[in-house]
């Protein structure tokens, strides 16, 4: 299984600082995106800490490379440790009180993608001309739709429900539940990891219009996504990671 990966993060037009963090180890199939929040520089501390800790916990040393592949349980254990570390730091250091971060992480291995997330950073898949959102936002507006208070997100927005109130984030509580899922990989799949700085500015259709360009260069696609989000206002930091599957054993 071979994937090509391109990453970009941008502070946007309005914000003075970038509190997003991106990283991982594409050579090992690990992709991580975090969107921090908090006063002063606390948001960027939380997001970068999440990325660094996940890398340290999920990338194995060479002498352990022959062990069985990582699974969903390993991913959830790592995310649990990240939440504890951020929560403890926020209480121990006054300058970091109230900090937190969203996280979306993907592990490409053995012709499958295992992914987990907390918050409203998203994972999309573009396959056979169709863009599909694989994650569900942990936001007040999404949960009100889930519970049947509104039929659609658009209906909830028209009723005045704020779109960016998180119901889960790393660091907010001593324990937080991450959503975990797995999908098969197919040749030509294109996966988009992104912060809400992209999705609050662009509709899914606008994102698809960019991604559906045949054999588009991944960095150029990233640039086009960021530049369009900025042209629409760039109200938040914008982070995008694209991963394309170029070889797999799956049909």
Whether 164 has a pLDDT exceeding 80, the answer reads yes
How would you classify the pairing of strands 2-10 and 20-25? unpaired
Q: How confident is the model at residue 40 (pLDDT cuts 50, 70, 90)?
A: low
Sequence-separated (6 or more) residues with CB below 8 Å from residue 23:
7, 32, 51, 52, 55
Distances (CA, A) of 209 to 73, 195, 233: 36, 18, 19
| Per-residue pLDDT, 110 | 86
Q: In a 3-state reduction of DSSP, which class is residue 9?
A: strand
The domain limits of the chain are 2-247
Buried b (16+ CB within 10 A) or exposed e, 8-17: bbbbbeebee
Superfamily (CATH) of domain 2-247: PPM-type phosphatase domain (3.60.40.10)
What is the separation of C-alpha 56 from the centre of its chain, rounded to a whole number of angstroms?
Answer: 18
Asked if 236 and 11 count as a contact pair (C-beta separation under 8 A), the reply is no
| Per-residue pLDDT, 237 | 97
For the record, the structure tokens of 84 come out as: 């504890």
Encode pLDDT of 203-233 as tens digits.
999 999 999 986 789 999 999 999 999 999 9
What is the DSSP code string of 109-122? ETTEEEEEEESS-E
Helix axes 72-92 and 42-58, enclosed angle (nearest 10):
150
**Which whole number is the average pLDDT over 17-34?**
96
Whether 61 has a pLDDT exceeding 70, the answer reads no
pTM: 0.93
Average pLDDT, the chain: 92
| Per-residue pLDDT, 68 | 74
| Per-residue pLDDT, 184 | 97
Whether 116 has a pLDDT exceeding 90, the answer reads yes
In whole angstroms, give the CA distance from residue 218 to residue 224: 10
Return the higher-pLDDT residue of 66 and 78.
Answer: 78
Q: In a 3-state reduction of DSSP, which class is residue 217?
A: coil
HSE-CB at 137 with a 13 A cutoff on CA atoms is: 19
Instruction: Name the CA radius of gyration of the chain, rounded.
Output: 18
Whether 249 has a pLDDT exceeding 70, the answer reads no
Helix axes 218-231 and 204-211, enclosed angle (nearest 10):
150
In whole angstroms, give the CA distance from residue 90 to residue 213: 43
| Per-residue pLDDT, 250 | 60
Q: How confident is the model at residue 108 (pLDDT cuts 50, 70, 90)?
A: very high
DSSP 8-state assignment for residue 178: P
DSSP 8-state assignment for residue 15: -
Q: How confident is the model at residue 39 (pLDDT cuts 50, 70, 90)?
A: low
């Amino acid at each position: 299984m071979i994937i090509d990966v391109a990453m970009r993060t941008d502070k946007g037009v309005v914000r003075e600082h970038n509190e997003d963090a991106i990283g991982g180890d594409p050579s090992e199939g690990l992709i991580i995106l975090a969107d921090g929040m908090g006063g002063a520089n606390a948001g960027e501390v939380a997001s970068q800490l999440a990325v660094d800790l996940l890398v340290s916990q999920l990338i194995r040393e060479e002498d352990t490379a022959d062990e069985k592949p990582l699974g969903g349980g390993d991913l959830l254990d790592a995310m649990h440790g990240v939440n504890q570390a951020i929560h403890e730091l926020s209480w121990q250091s006054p300058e970091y009180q109230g900090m937190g971060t969203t996280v979306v992480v993907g592990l490409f291995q053995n012709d499958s993608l295992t992914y987990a997330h907390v918050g409203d950073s998203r994972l999309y898949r573009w396959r056979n001309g169709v863009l599909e959102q694989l994650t569900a936002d942990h936001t007040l507006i999404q949960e009100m739709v889930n519970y049947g208070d509104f039929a659609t997100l658009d209906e909830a927005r028209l009723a005045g429900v704020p779109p960016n109130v998180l119901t889960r984030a790393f660091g907010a509580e001593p324990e937080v539940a991450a959503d975990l899922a797995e999908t098969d990989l197919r040749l030509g799949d294109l996966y988009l990891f992104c912060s809400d700085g992209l999705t609050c500015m662009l509709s899914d259709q606008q994102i698809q219009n960019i991604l559906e360009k045949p054999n588009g260069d991944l960095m150029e696609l990233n640039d086009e996504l960021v530049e369009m989000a900025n042209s629409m206002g760039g109200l938040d930091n914008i982070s995008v990671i694209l991963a394309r599957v170029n070889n797999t054993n799956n049909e």
